[in-house]
Amino acid sequence: MIHVENLTKYYNDFCAVDRISVDIHKGEVLGLLGPNGAGKTTTLRMLTGYFMPTSGTIRVKDYLLDENLLEIKKLMGYLPESAPLYHNMLVFDYLDYVAKIRGLDKDQRAVRIRQLVDLCGLGEIMHRSIHELSKGLNQRVGLAHAMMTDPEILILDEPTSGLDPNQIVEIREIIRKIGEEKTVILSTHILSEVEATCDRVVIINNGKIVADDHVENLKQTAGQKHFIHLELCNAGFQEVCRGLNGIEGVVNTEQIDDTPGSSLRVRLACESAVDLRETIYQTIKQTSWVLIGFHLETKTLENIFRELTKED
Amino acid sequence: MQQAIRICNKELKDYFISPIAYIVISIFLLVTGWFFFTTFFYYNQADLRNFFGLLPITFAFLIPAVTMRLFSEEMNVGSYELLLTLPVTFKDILLGKFLAGVLFVAAALVPTLAYPICIAFMGDLDWGPVAGGYLGALLLGAAFVAVGLFSSSLTRNQIIAFIVGTAICFSLTLIDKMLFFFPSSLLGVIGYLGADFHFQNIAKGIVDSRDILYFLSVVFIGLYGTHLVMQEKS
């Protein structure tokens, strides 16, 4: 669907995006992840034709970006960061204007705007001026703008930034619904968002791709250790260390919470080749310690992200 | 072209649903009406020469005030990004905004048609110079709109856009009155650059291709400059 090759963008001497190559397939929800200033927005702006790349090619379907920009724009819906809409227009006027520019005729406009009102929940605010809207409502109008012609490709730049938790859930719901049929590219620095909405994640840092994989694969492959959390009563840290470090595969034991009088919380770092939970349980069973908490820490995207984008 | 008309419609609508249009047009009518009619009856002549004589200076202030928002505001709010990622080319945007500016100038000129109509009742009005004057006013307006668009594309600050636009329009208007500052070898060239000089030719009722060509070239240079500036930004 979208084929990006060696995409590079320089702002004067500063290299914002450095030779990015990525293939995005039809029906994929791709999350572009990275710390602030990693080059996410610049990449999306080049994909939409707002910025011209310094070098590299972008191909959408059979169109080359620098030759058939107009055709590509017709296929794409784009929501820039913080949805900068014309704030002196009414919501209805704005959507009607976008529909006109997108080439819908009068009847289609009426039908499509009504659909979008339902999808994005704009019913109450159609006749309000855009500058009166709260951030979340503004964002929803922006989303309606992007989806005006039911585009095949939807590009969303930080679609949930500045929204409250309820609105975030709503917007994610909408994105997931669209993502069932359409190609969606969204950028974010919120990791749970990627886990909640994306099939595939591309992590960029300093303008370079540092990871590109499915969310599940990424969680499995990154890192060599996994962690087991234990909560014990009637046990001292020293003896627990002695007892558990003897098990083969346990790399080290550390105390997490040392408030006196409370139970002992420890974290065991284990090699991830084998599952040690059973062995650990058997070991504890032979002592007088009382086991009151026991869980395996699952690899979160957060750890992976931090590992990959750490400044050396 | 269709897209340009849609953008033009939107810009015009913006002018007329906000107070901008009404304030600017009222001030324009007040200023021109005042200066025209305070001296009109002394001359005891049924013509519009005084009205057209002042028009370039009024336009030099007024038109940049109208055009200053066309690009600056879009860049400041960020809506330019949305506009450019809709299926339109930059030419459509430029042409649409330019047309909206010219139509706005035309709308401001329409109420002044009352002057020649009133005068025609009072005396024997020669309609030739009047028609020439209005044609010239439109051409002058178009040229200044192009200059205003250019200055608007330079900055995201509307006030700076206004000041730069006014400065350019004002220089174009007055440059042929300042000829004594320039060496004599340049007089011909610089005299030709004066917008007022060309405008007054047309306002006399003489429609000369040189004058029309002058205004069209200012329009072209202004729009092309805008194109270059905006291209540089992406």
Whether B153 has a pLDDT exceeding 90, the answer reads yes
A312 within some domain: no
Residue A223 clears pLDDT 60, i.e. is over it: no
CB B234 to CB A50 under 8 A? yes
pLDDT at position A140 is 86
> Is A222's pLDDT higher than 70?
no
- Cβ contact B84–A102 (<8 Å): no
Q: Are B3 and A103 in contact (CB under 8 A)?
A: no
**Higher-scoring residue by pLDDT: A159, B66:** B66
User: Could you please report the per-residue DSSP string of chain B?
Assistant: -HHHHHHHHHHHHHHHHSTHHHHHHHHHHHHHHHHHHHHHHHHT----HHHHHHHHHHHHHHHHHHHTHHHHHHHHHSHHHHHHHSS--HHHHHHHHHHHHHHHHHHHHGGGGHHHHHHHHHS---HHHHHHHHHHHHHHHHHHHHHHHHHHHH-S-HHHHHHHHHHHHHHHHHGGG-GGGS-GGGHHHHHHH-HHHHHHHHHTT---HHHHHHHHHHHHHHHHHHHHHHHHH-
Same domain, yes or no, for A207 and A246? no
Q: Which residues in chain B are closer than 8 Å to A69, comparing Cβ atoms?
A: 89
Selected residue with higher pLDDT from A237 and B10: B10
- Gap from A90 CA to chain B (nearest CA, Å): 11
Residue A124: pLDDT band with limits 50, 70, 90: confident
Same domain membership, residue A136 and residue A178: yes
Q: Is the pLDDT of residue A311 over 70?
A: no
Residues A150 and A254 in one domain: no
With beta carbons under 8 A apart, name residues in chain B contacting A76.
Answer: 85
A191 with A248, same domain: the answer is no
In chain B, where are the structural domains located? Answer: 2-233
Q: What is the ipTM of this complex?
A: 0.85
Q: Domain residues for A7?
A: 2-215
Domain contains A157? yes
Q: Which residue among B6, B82, B84 sits closest to A85, beta carbon to beta carbon? A: B82
Number of domains in chain A: 2
Q: Cβ contacts (< 8 Å) between A103 and chain B: which residues?
A: 87
Mean of per-residue pLDDT scores for chain B? 89
Question: How does pLDDT run across A77-107, given as a tens digit for each residue?
Answer: 999 888 888 888 899 999 999 999 998 888 9
In this prediction, residue B145 carries a pLDDT of 96
* Whether residue A104 sits in one domain with residue A40: yes
Q: How many interface pairs between A and B have CB atoms less than 8 angstroms apart? A: 56
Sheet architecture: strand order including A264-271: A250-257, A264-271, A225-233, A290-297
Per-chain mean pLDDT for chain A: 83
For residues A168 and A96, membership in a common domain is answered with: yes
User: pTM above the 0.80 mark?
Assistant: yes
Convert the pLDDT of each residue in A12-34 to its tens digit: 888 888 888 888 888 888 988 88
**Which residues in chain A touch residue B86, judged by CB atoms under 8 angstroms apart?**
73, 98, 101-102
Q: Are residues A180 and A236 in the same domain?
A: no
Give me the pLDDT at residue A99, please.
Answer: 92
